[in-house]
Amino acid sequence: MPPLVAVDWSPDGRALRILDQRHLPGAELLRDLVSLAAVIDAIRTLAVRGAPAIGVAAAIGLVVSLEQDSEGHGVRARAMLTDYANQLIASRPTAVNLAWAVRRLLSRAAVVDDDRLLTALRADAEAIRAEDVAMCDAIGRMGLHLIPDGTRLLTHCNAGALATAGSGTALAPVHLAHREGRRVHVFADETRPLRQGARLTAWELQRAGIPVTVLPDGAAASLLRTGAVDLVLVGADRITANGDVANKIGTYAVALAAREHGVPFYVAAPWSTIDPDTPTGADIEIEHRHADELGDLPAGVRVWNPAFDVTPRALVSGYLTDRGVVLPPFSGVTHG
């Protein structure tokens, strides 16, 4: 099968190209986005999703929308830059990579003149994309020792190639282990409310020839109790300075069950997902989704539909990053 690429430049370099994940697993639909409104809509509606992927999408999307709307004029582009950046940052508040990528471009813009502005922003957006691919490869190598032959692994949501510009975070070592001939079986939680485990993780793993079993979120604790799982490995949208982890809703329950049944619980994420400016999980803004995403409900029923929850640092066995497996305090982290 050809490599799975969720986010990239269009072939002519003039647009952001995404694999629209709202249509998976039924159809593989590639879309080229140029306008800021289209990029923001794709991020908000989860056409492109996963913390690293939306960071890359925001960086490329900021560049191509500025290039189009300024008609290539640096002075006009600079006048639009702050407003466009703020709109992108506000599109999804919980994942740190989006704001990190946009602010990196803002920092670059501050040290170049108008004539070089768009060229410099394009180069930095490409660097963010290339670094994300390299990051995924590094996480795969760093986490390979966690997946010996015969590993039975439980994951939650999707932290694979669909969530990044490369081979994924939590699924990167799984893909590498499979390529090396190790037997791996993945249990994928369905992951409510958008079923990203059932729709995306299962599709991605099946496409790669990796055995996968989907289970309802409510069955994860019972599965762990049977002894059928050797390792839990999940992604993250934000890791705070003290090690608390924001990930898709339901992750906290899995971590509690893993601790109860003596199963190691690891979090995989790039170094850029560690946020030194957010002290603890209590300081994370949690995105809430629309009631429609829960399906048919009686009219007038109230809904509490958070997209993420926070897993306390005490439940995490280790943090698998592109710099290796680490524990807090995370020295040397900076998003400047």
Q: What is the pLDDT of residues 282-335, one digit of tens each?
A: 999 999 999 998 889 999 999 999 999 999 999 999 999 999 999 999 876 655
Q: How far apart are CA 123 and CA 108, in angstroms?
A: 10
Please state the separation of Cα 174 from the chain's center in Å.
16
- Cβ contacts of 277 within 8 Å, gap of 6 or more: 241, 335
Assess whether pLDDT exceeds 80 at residue 95. Answer: no
Q: How far apart are CA 61 and CA 73, in angstroms?
A: 17
Q: What is the pLDDT of residue 311?
A: 98
CATH 1.20.120.420 occupies which residues in the chain? Answer: 7-137
Assess whether pLDDT exceeds 70 at residue 336. Answer: no
Q: What is the pLDDT of residue 126?
A: 98
Q: Which position among 237, 244, 275, 322 bears the catalytic label?
A: 237
Q: What is the pLDDT of residue 132?
A: 96
Element spanning 248, H or E: strand 245-248
Is residue 124 part of the annotated active site? The answer reads: no
Distances (CA, A) of 311 to 109, 139, 230, 267, 298: 36, 21, 20, 10, 31
Assess whether pLDDT exceeds 70 at residue 245. Answer: yes
Q: What is the pLDDT of residues 270-294, one digit of tens each?
A: 998 999 999 999 999 999 999 998 8
> Nearest-5° angle of CA 17, CA 5, CA 268?
120
- Residue 11 pLDDT class (50, 70, 90 cuts): very high
Of 29 and 293, the one with more pLDDT = 29
Mean pLDDT of 67-96: 95
Predicted model pTM: 0.91
Assess whether pLDDT exceeds 50 at residue 118. Answer: yes
Mean pLDDT of 81-97: 93
Q: What is the pLDDT of residue 94?
A: 82
Q: How many CA atoms lie within 13 A of 262 on its CB side?
A: 3
Q: What is the pLDDT of residue 332?
A: 66
Q: How much is the mean pLDDT over the chain?
A: 95
**Six token digits for residue 192:** 């409510």
* CATH of the domain spanning 7-137: 1.20.120.420
CATH 3.40.50.10470 occupies which residues in the chain? Answer: 145-326
Q: What is the pLDDT of residues 177-216, one digit of tens each?
A: 999 999 999 999 999 988 999 999 999 999 999 999 999 9
Q: What is the pLDDT of residue 303?
A: 95
Element spanning 141, H or E: helix 117-143
Element spanning 39, H or E: helix 36-44
37: left (phi over 0), alpha (psi -120 to 50) or beta: alpha
Distances (CA, A) of 272 to 52, 168, 182, 321: 9, 14, 29, 9
Q: How many residues are present in the chain? A: 336
**Following CA atoms 233, 238, 243, 249 in sequence, which dihedral angle do they give, to the nearest 10 degrees?**
-60
Assess whether pLDDT exceeds 70 at residue 144. Answer: yes
Q: How far apart are CA 236 and CA 281, in angstroms?
A: 12
| CATH 3.90.420.10 at 145-326, yes or no | no
